[in-house]
Amino acid sequence: MELRVLQYFLAVTREQSISGAAQSLHLSQPTLSRQLKDLEEELGKELMIRGNRRITLTEEGMILRKRAEEIMELVKKAEDEISLSDDIIAGDITVGTGETDGVRFLAKAVKELQRRYPLIHLHIVSGDKAAIIEQLDRGLIDFGLVFGDIETSKYECIQVPYKDTWGVIMRQDSPLAKKETITAEDLIDKPLIISRQAFYNHELREFFSCGQDKLNIVATYNLLFNGSLMVDEGIGYAISFDKIINVSGNSHLCFRPLEPKTESNMSILWKKYQVFTKAVEKFLQKLQEILDITN
């Protein structure tokens, strides 16, 4: 399977037609059709269903599109890293993270780094812990900013000097909004909106000692902004971290911390034996410098 043919295949998925892809690639339509047919024969699977006006990917075609996009992203990453001059410290730093105030720690490090190396750029990829670990293992990101335990046999990590506080986002006209803090008992019979991986967090499991199956979970979210919209529409109460959703000013929402106070530590991790670019090395050094000053 050649990279060139994968590029052809991705062009067809973008244009949703062979004729449109052939035009963008500056190829004749018969040539492109032959290349795609050869690819299907090589894999032994039909990748697309050819309609009168547009193509539709088969299940195997959708799998190949996902993998081909990852392959091409890795190829570009490798080309960019290798092509940089030895005398220039520049390049991309990619960090996968959930929604957390701890992103400020990353931003502070990059801001200080860019004063000396303005060609260094930070890219934040949002996702939950499972998605971040998967991308880290595949080499699509350099670091992950995650909560909870770290598998130290596979990853190196440093703890971030930030803690996120758990609490509840609710409408200001909700009965619980009159309270300054929220206990587990307050939430037992309430409609709850939680993140998909909330109960992978041991602090939250301990807070709800009754167990997840005893709670009235009516909805889940991946991004808290979507969860806050569900709260605003009156679906329920969202269990979340503080400082992510703006509840000041004219907001209809408010945040109340859990009682007893429940916090989560976070860590930056990377694969063991990872070979870093100079830009990524400088970033890691800067993170350590800030930690040393903080401690």
**Cα separation, 123 vs 77, whole angstroms:** 13
Q: Calculate the alpha carbon distances from 9 to 26, 28, 42, 57, 71 in Å.
A: 14, 14, 14, 11, 13
CA atoms within 13 A on the CB side of 63: 7
pTM over 0.85: no
pLDDT one-digit tens code per residue, 137-162: 988 899 999 988 888 889 999 988 88
Give the residue among 254, 261, 236, 243 at the shortest CA–CA distance from 183.
Answer: 261
Dihedral over alpha carbons 3, 6, 7, 10 (to 10 degrees): -160
Question: 142 CB contacts (<8 Å, ≥6 apart)?
Answer: 93, 94, 95, 270, 274, 276, 280, 283
Q: Which of 146, 127, 149 is nearest to 205 (CA)?
A: 149
Residue in the block written with tokens 């970033």: 283
pLDDT-above-90 percentage for the chain: 42
Nearest-CA neighbor of 154 among 287, 284, 283, 273?
A: 273
Collapsing DSSP to helix, strand or coil, 270 comes out as strand
pLDDT at 22: 85
CB 8 within 8 A of CB 25: yes
The pLDDT tens digits for 227-262 are 999 999 999 999 999 999 999 888 999 999 999 999
* Residue 100: partners with Cβ closer than 8 Å, 6 or more residues away: 145, 147, 162, 164, 241, 244, 266
List, for residues 73-121, the tens digit of each pLDDT value: 888 777 766 665 556 788 899 999 988 988 999 999 999 999 999 999 9
Tens digits of residue pLDDT in 42-85: 999 898 888 777 888 889 988 998 888 888 888 877 776 666 55
